[in-house]
Structure 1
Amino acid sequence: MASLQFQDKHSCGGVLIREDFVLTAAHCEDEQTMTAVLGAHNIKKKEKSQQRIEVAKRHPHPKFKKDGHQYDIMLLELKNNATLNTYVKIIGLPKSDEDLPARVKCEVAGWGRTGQTKPISNVLKETTESIQFSRECDHIWKEYFVSSRMICTTFDKKKGGVCQGDSGGPLICKGELQGLTAFTSLCNCNDPKYPHVFTQVKSFLSWIKEVMKK
């Protein structure tokens, strides 16, 4: 898990997929200097487990547009390699041929808001969301949802789920990274009528590998 920060303030989540690359959402892009904080639990503290590494280069997907939801994926090239240890590990990319059936439970995590009116969390939170039928998401999100490149989930209002500040964080199903937090209802991230939407990582495997090869 990575906390992506500008001027020591948390902005988005991300995941370490190689010692020198973090995967996140393209809408997390900003012109300021970006730092990836790895191995953190409480981002308000200087924990010994933390590694703070400046982002050297950003690679947003070439088809991403700032005012849109499509192709919302970005690779961050780190200035130095992360040191892998008990607190900092790499998550593997998914297998390209595997489909996720509805109702599968998946883990989400982040330092985002714990509710629409609440501030971001200092400590890393984790909860579960379940894969939703694509047709439900088509019906609710209309043209914003593209089932070939996105995954959507249902969640329990009491347990909560992803919210603002969790963008770019992982959706982990059956131990594999399947999605990156993309968008929720702007008015209320905790409204179960609006499924949460994630960028589907397996749709972008060839692009990810191409960027990292260069």
Structure 2
Amino acid sequence: MASLQFQGKHSCGGVLIREDFVLTAAHCEDEQTMTAVLGAHNIKKKEKSQQRIEVAKRHPHPKFKKDGHQYDIMLLELKNNATLNTDVNIIGLPKSDEDLPARVKCEVAGWGRTGHTKPISNVLKENTEFIQFSRECDHIWKEYFVSSRMICTKFDKKKGGVCQGDSGGPLICKGELQGLTAFTSPCNCNDPMYPHVFTQVKSFLPWIKEVMKK
């Protein structure tokens, strides 16, 4: 897990996919200097496990538009390689090309809000969400949802799920990185009427590999 920060304040989540690359959402882009904090549990503390590495270069997907939801994926090139150890490690890219069936249980994590009216969390939180039929997102989100590049999930209203501040964080299903947190209802992230949407990582594998090769 990476906490992406501007001037020491958490903004988005991300995942380390190589010693020198973090994968996140393109809408997390900002003109300010960005720092990736790796190995953190409590981002308000200076833990020994933490590695703070400045982002040298940002690679938002070329088709992403700032006011849109499509192609919401970005690679962050780090100034220095992360040191891999028991606190900081790489998450592998998805290997299987199978579509995830509905009701598969997945893990999400981040430092985002723990409720719509609540502040972001200082400590890393984990939760579960379930793969939902794409037609549910088609029905609610209409043109914003594209099933070939996005994943639709449902969640427990009481336990909640991802919220503002979790963008770019992982959706891990069957031990594989399948998605990156993209968007929820802007009015209430815990409203079960609005399924959560994740950028589908496997559909961007050729682009990811091409950027990292360069």
Shorter-chain-normalised TM-score: which range?
over 0.9
Report deviation, 1:95. 1.8
**1: distance between equivalents of 2:67 and 2:144?**
12
Report SS of the residue matched to 2:112.
coil
Report deviation, 1:162. 0.2
Report SS of the residue matched to 1:98.
coil
**2: distance between equivalents of 1:97 and 1:40?**
31
Superposed, 1:8-19 pairs within 5 Å as: 8-19=8-19
Report deviation, 1:96. 4.9
Q: Paired residue for 1:72?
A: 72
Report deviation, 1:98. 1.7
> Do the aligned residues in 2 keep the contact of 1:181 with 1:197 (CA within 8 Å)?
yes
TM-score, length of structure 2 as denominator length: 0.99
**2: distance between equivalents of 1:4 and 1:116?**
20
Moved over 6 A (4+): none
**1: distance between equivalents of 2:155 and 2:168?**
18
Deviates more, 1:90-99 or 1:7-16: 90-99
Structure 2 residue runs of 5 or longer lacking an equivalent are none
Report SS of the residue matched to 1:63.
coil
Report deviation, 1:184. 0.1
Structure 1 residue runs of 5 or longer lacking an equivalent are none
**2: distance between equivalents of 1:166 and 1:73?**
14
> Do the aligned residues in 2 keep the contact of 1:134 with 1:147 (CA within 8 Å)?
yes
Deviations 1:8-31 (A, max 9, x none): 000000000000000000000000
Report deviation, 1:176. 0.2
TM-score, length of structure 1 as denominator length: 0.99
Deviations 1:32-74 (A, max 9, x none): 0000000000000000000000000000000000000000000
Report deviation, 1:97. 1.5
> Do the aligned residues in 2 keep the contact of 1:96 with 1:203 (CA within 8 Å)?
no
> Do the aligned residues in 2 keep the contact of 1:58 with 1:74 (CA within 8 Å)?
yes
Percent identity for Structure 1 against Structure 2:
95
**1: distance between equivalents of 2:190 and 2:115?**
6
Report SS of the residue matched to 2:194.
coil
**1: distance between equivalents of 2:47 and 2:158?**
30
